[in-house]
A and B are shown apart, each in its own frame.
Chain A
Amino acid sequence: MHHLAFDVAHMLAGSLVLMSFLQLYQDRLYALLNIYALHALVLALSVAWQALIQNAPHLYVTALIALVFKAIIIPVVLHRMIVRLGIHREIENVVGVGTAMLFGMGLVALSMVVMLRATHEADPLAREDLAFALSVVLLGLLMMVTRRNVVSQVVGFMSLENGLVLAATGAKGMPLVVEISVAFSILIAFIVIGIFLFRIRERFDTVDVQALDRFRGERG
């Protein structure tokens, strides 16, 4: 049983990294949102599995939040927002697919080296989980850096937070305080983002961050 538990957890965490890679090269917003929904779904499965093997029922709440809020509500809302803003046809390409993938692989390798070396004494399950979680966090960061579109930056940020939830649930017995706070912060973050998107639309009629860059305060 222990072996199976480990293998499934490993597989789910690995799939999450895979989903992050899939996100990296999507150049259409709809496709990106679909992959994000999948990302959140895998996270929900992973958290639920952790709840089962750790015998920690409160983690099911986190899994449920991931499923309902992140995998369904957010993608739907963002989908609508994209339609309303009229940017669903936009194709963005900041860094080439090849370069982004190479960078991504480098980051995953980095997080493996760093985490596996540092956590000799921790139990193997937590070790692998943490290494995968760091990969997801770094890939989310990479996506935020390489994208210009505000919506894709936000998706990058949300997948980064998914990585954090993976890390928090992998740490056995971590108090509920943190899980609630993570879920809560995503909620707040989302509200803020919603307000911002709304205002950006009001002011610029575009959600391309390049348009924002024109307004740097430093001009003469």
Chain B
Amino acid sequence: MMDSFDAVIAVLVTPALAAIVLAILPGYWLSARLNVLATLVTFLAAASLMFGRPQPGPYLLVDDLNNLFIVLTTFVGFTTSVFSASYISHELEIGRLTPTFLRFYHAMYQVLMFAMNLALVANNIGVLWVAIEIATLTTVLMVGIYRTHEAIEAAWKYFILGSVGIALALFGTILVYMAARPVISEGLDAMVWTKLVAHAGGFDPALLNIAFVFLLLGYGTKVGLVPLHAWLPDAHAEGPTPISAVLSGLLLNVALYALLRFKMLLAVNPNALAPGPLMVTMGLVSLIFAAFMLYRRRDIKRMFAYSSIEHMGIIAFAFGMGGPLANFAGLLHMTMHSLTKSAIFFAVGHIAQVKGTQRISDMGGLTETNPVLGWGLVLGVVAIAGLPPCGIFMSEFLVVSSTMARLPWLAIPLVFGIIVGLGALFLRLNGIAFGEPRGTTAEAKASYIPMFAHLALVFAAGVYIPPALFAGFQNVAKLLG
């Protein structure tokens, strides 16, 4: 009992302490390694939660749902820090970052990890909100770190849209408290999620409905659902690539997790509106919009940012459908998307460094000039487009088939969107990876391990999922209702 409680504390304290140390340490070589070490320790602590977890308190909670999210978050956080170490040494060489900014960068990376972990283990909807706010502010600072015109514009746009989203989410949180107050009691208890979910049946449904609309708009902005997505492509394209990987792979998930928690509250109340159709609609719109937007992209990071919107759309759609099968598919898709998209950004980061640009028209024939990076990108795109035998194929197949079984009409736009997106990705990939070599060529000084580790997991999951993991996913899917 005591040990497992320590693990939750470790998940929070390790990044917090590391942030302080990294803010003080001057040398980048040591900082980059300490950064990796801290994320590794956090990941191990998170993994140990699988084997024993504490009783929920008024502030912290670990259950089957967030345990999955925490392990995924800390794992991708760890591999990204390995990638980041080789990425930033190149940025230092070409002088895009100075040692002072790197100190700031490493400290912020850990603060971001802390904020995401806090959001995931929070049992209090106020703490959840604060954590997502901290995560937003740290990513704003990191997106603007290059201080170019584009980076500042992107950070400003992200900051304004993110703040508005966060403000709407706080209003929703206050409304949930208002709904809970007459039923539970005044004060702290009415913000504790486990108490809320136990009593949600007695809440005033009208108030709960309005609260959910605000929460959907607020946290939906952070998930990047269309039409609240405008910040996402800019923020991904202009920030350092490790941050693009963490944004796409993790922060979007954390915001989605917040939405899922509130969706579970509404599910308990029989008179409240069904949140499913709202999420299904937003998910479908995001999917189709992003799939078409993929065709016109000229910047490689921007293209994969739109691909993230597309996949968040599919995930929101799956959770909106609900039921054990669709929820299972949504969880699997989310996990696979996190792993694949961060692997793609690892590849893209090094490619952009080799080519000295992010413009797609200046890249070509990568499989010839830099075979490892080129083929890594090809594998990543094959995986993200949902071709067999990788994990995303499995999850997309499950989403489509569960939709077919229940609402066949909805399956048509869903499949249409997926195919349109697939076409766009391969059209662009063809130019980047094959054909005549274009642009500058240089040796890549890259660490390929994180990228191929992620890809191996994704391809393995398409063929075989360990029974324990399978059961775990099913369990969570049932929990989500």
Contacts and interface: CB of A to CB of B under 8 A. Distances in A.
Given A173-B181, A196-B152, A217-B302, A164 B174 contact: yes
B170 A130 contact: no
A35 interface: no
A157 B163 contact: yes
A211 to B, nearest CB: 9
A122 interface: yes
Nearest to B157: A212
B126 interface: yes
A120 interface: yes
Interface stretch (B205-213, B275-283, B327-335): B205-213
A162 B295 CA distance: 42
B178 A177 contact: no
Interface in B235-267: 237-238
A217 B230 CA distance: 13
Contact of B206 (A120, A199, A216): A120
B187 A173 contact: yes
Interface string B168-191: 101101110110011000111011
Contacts of B160: 144, 153, 157
A181 B181 contact: no
Nearest to B174: A167
Nearest to A114: B210
Given A157-B163, A218-B302, A177 B124 contact: yes
Contacts of A114: 210
A93 B237 CA distance: 32
A134 B177 CA distance: 15
A204 interface: yes
Nearest to A219: B298
B90 to A, nearest CB: 21
Most central of B126, B127, B141, B188 by chain A CB within 10 Å: B126
Interface in A179-206: 181-182, 184-185, 188-189, 192-193, 195-196, 199-200, 203-204
A126 to B, nearest CB: 7
B181 to A, nearest CB: 7
B237 A122 contact: no
A157 B156 CA distance: 13
B137 interface: yes
B147 interface: yes
Contact of A121 (B149, B182, B210, B302): B182
B126 A171 contact: no
Interface residues of B, number: 50
Contacts, number: 132
A141 B39 CA distance: 38
B153 A168 contact: no
A217 B166 CA distance: 25
A177 B126 CA distance: 7
A196 B299 CA distance: 25
A160 B167 contact: yes
B149 A204 contact: yes
Interface in B197-251: 204, 206-207, 209-210, 234, 237-238
B193 interface: no
A215 B149 contact: yes
Nearest to B296: A218
A118 B207 contact: yes
Contacts of A193: 159
A72 to B, nearest CB: 23
B368 interface: no
A137 B168 CA distance: 9
B137 A192 contact: yes
B298 A119 contact: no
Given A173-B187, A217-B150, A217-B154, A182 B302 contact: no
Contacts of A157: 160, 163-164, 167
Contacts of A218: 298-299, 302
Interface string A106-132: 000000001101111110001000100
B299 A118 contact: no
Interface residues of A, number: 52
B187 A203 contact: no
A215 B153 contact: yes
A151 B324 CA distance: 49
Contacts of B88: none
Contacts of B204: 118-122
Contact of B170 (A117, A164, A195): A164
B415 to A, nearest CB: 29
A125 to B, nearest CB: 12
A122 B191 contact: no
A117 B206 contact: yes
A68 interface: no
Nearest to B164: A141
Contact of A203 (B141, B147, B170): B147
B140 interface: yes
Contact of B171 (A119, A134, A172, A196): A134
Contacts of B170: 164, 168, 178, 182
A102 interface: no
B181 A217 contact: no
B154 to A, nearest CB: 7
The 3 closest A-B pairs by CB, nearest first: A173-B186, A118-B206, A215-B149
Given A119-B207, A215-B150, 12 more contacts: A121-B182, A126-B178, A137-B171, A153-B160, A172-B186, A173-B190, A175-B191, A200-B156, A209-B156, A212-B156, A215-B153, A217-B234
24 contacts: A118-B206, A122-B182, A130-B175, A130-B178, A134-B171, A137-B167, A137-B171, A144-B160, A153-B160, A164-B170, A171-B181, A174-B191, A175-B187, A177-B130, A178-B129, A178-B174, A181-B130, A188-B137, A192-B137, A192-B159, A195-B141, A200-B156, A217-B234, A218-B302
Interface of B: 124, 126-127, 129-130, 133, 137, 140-141, 144, 147, 149-150, 152-156, 159-160, 163-164, 166-168, 170-171, 173-175, 177-178, 181-182, 186-188, 190-191, 204, 206-207, 209-210, 234, 237-238, 298-299, 302
Interface of A: 114-115, 117-122, 126, 130, 133-134, 137, 141, 144, 150, 153, 157, 160-161, 164, 167-168, 171-175, 177-178, 181-182, 184-185, 188-189, 192-193, 195-196, 199-200, 203-204, 209, 212-213, 215-218, 220
